[in-house]
Amino acid sequence: MTEIWIIILALGAGTFVIRFSFLGILGNRALPLWLLRHLRYTAVGILPAMVTPLVLWPEATGGQMDPSRIAAASLALAVGLWTKNAIWAIVVGMATLWGIGWLMG
């Protein structure tokens, strides 16, 4: 019981410190150009890596490759690139997954 709360509090405090770090401490100081150049690619550098195993080896299928999930992710990516609209990408992605699931019974 107490262990769970230790985990919750440590994770909450630790996550806040991580999020506050540069924004809170560096504050007004100007960052060097080379660092700024790297920071422009944080989102596109980390999010695809985080998505990759979730698409290729999803936990819901016990880590087995699932063609319907790969198709859904590919279509979401294609629609996102084509429309530049996040919500259409999400709608098409989830609809693909449900559609294939429904067709396969």
* Residue numbers at the binding site for another protein (CB under 8 A): 3-12, 14-16, 18-24, 26-31, 34-56, 58-60, 69, 72-73, 76-77, 80-81, 84-87, 89-90, 93-94, 97-98, 101
Residue 104 CB, nearest distance to another protein (Å)?
11
Two structure tokens written together for 14: 């630790």
Q: Any idea which residue has 């067709």 for tokens?
A: 103
Residue 64 CB, nearest distance to another protein (Å)?
14
Sign, CA torsion 69/72/77/80: negative
Q: Any idea which residue has 């560096």 for tokens?
A: 26
72 in helix, strand or coil? helix
Residue 103 CB, nearest distance to another protein (Å)?
12
